[in-house]
Amino acid sequence: MADYRFARRPAWIAGHLLAGGMVALMVGLGFWQLDRLDQRRDRNALIEARASLAPVPVGEEVDPDDDGEVVDGLRFRSVEATGRYTDDTAVVRTNQSGASGARVFTVLALDGGESVLVLRGFIGQQPDGSLEPPSPPSGVVTIEGVAVPRARLELLSRQALDDLEETSPALAAGLLPVIVQTADSDSDAMVAVPPPELGDGPHLSYALQWFLFSAVVLIGYPILLRRRAGETPEDPDR
């Protein structure tokens, strides 16, 4: 007859708590991945819904002090901006399509007096590891791209913004709360940064993996206890 009295020992109680904690953690991670999947699908639907909308002048849609719903209303909208590029450029190292290089960000001064940060493209690094961002077009230019609220910026874009505001603190006052990612680069030395992928990503497979891992513990741990109980001598002193 199986004897489970060993399972009341402190070491085994700690094992029970550890197994239970692992299951709770892995189930939580699984549902977190499912939530990420829902968020991604909502984002994809938003991108597709706004892809067919005509571009709007970004300087007329938001002000430097706008935030919240006003700015989110431009998320993934096609926008256009007319102005002159400034000398404020930041490069942030990253990889694109397997190539090492950097994204190039430059501030565009708009006709209305505000300015907007523009993601102009990606440059590959030189053989010596250096980066040579091309100068932006001179004179008055009109660009088109996709608007992304600065509050939702990815790490690379946020780093570029921080670098520019550190070197030119006055930028923060008149900078619009969005970044414009251009669809085409303005130099042969750069390539455009691709738009967000519309697939589901790995979230569903990750969720299934976490649920599988938790099932392994839920099934395997009782089997371990049963085997250990079968090996325990029926000794009333144990």
Q: Is residue 61 domain-shared with residue 175, that is, in the same domain?
A: yes
Provide the pLDDT confidence category of residue 236 given band limits of 50, 70 and 90. very low
Which of 75, 37, 86, 89 lies closest to 177, judged by CA?
A: 75
- Quote the Cα angle for 219-223-225, to 5°: 120
Q: Report yes or no: 173 and 114 within 8 Å, Cβ to Cβ.
A: no
Q: Which residues on adjacent β-strands are paired with residue 53?
A: none
Answer yes or no: do 100 and 136 share one domain. yes
Q: How far apart are CA 210 and CA 222, in angstroms?
A: 19
User: HEC profile for 186-201?
Assistant: CCCCCECCCCCCCCCC
Same domain, 110 and 208: no
Cβ partners under 8 Å of residue 185, min gap 6: 120, 121, 122, 191, 192
Instruction: Return the structure tokens found at 196.
Output: 């967000």
Domain span at residue 166? 56-182
User: Domain count of the chain?
Assistant: 2
**In this predicted structure, what is the pLDDT of residue 217?**
94
pTM, rounded to two decimals: 0.74
Residue 169 has pLDDT above 80, yes or no: no
pLDDT of residue 111: 83
Tens digit of pLDDT for each residue in 43-101? 888 888 888 888 889 888 887 776 666 677 888 889 999 999 988 888 888 888 888 99
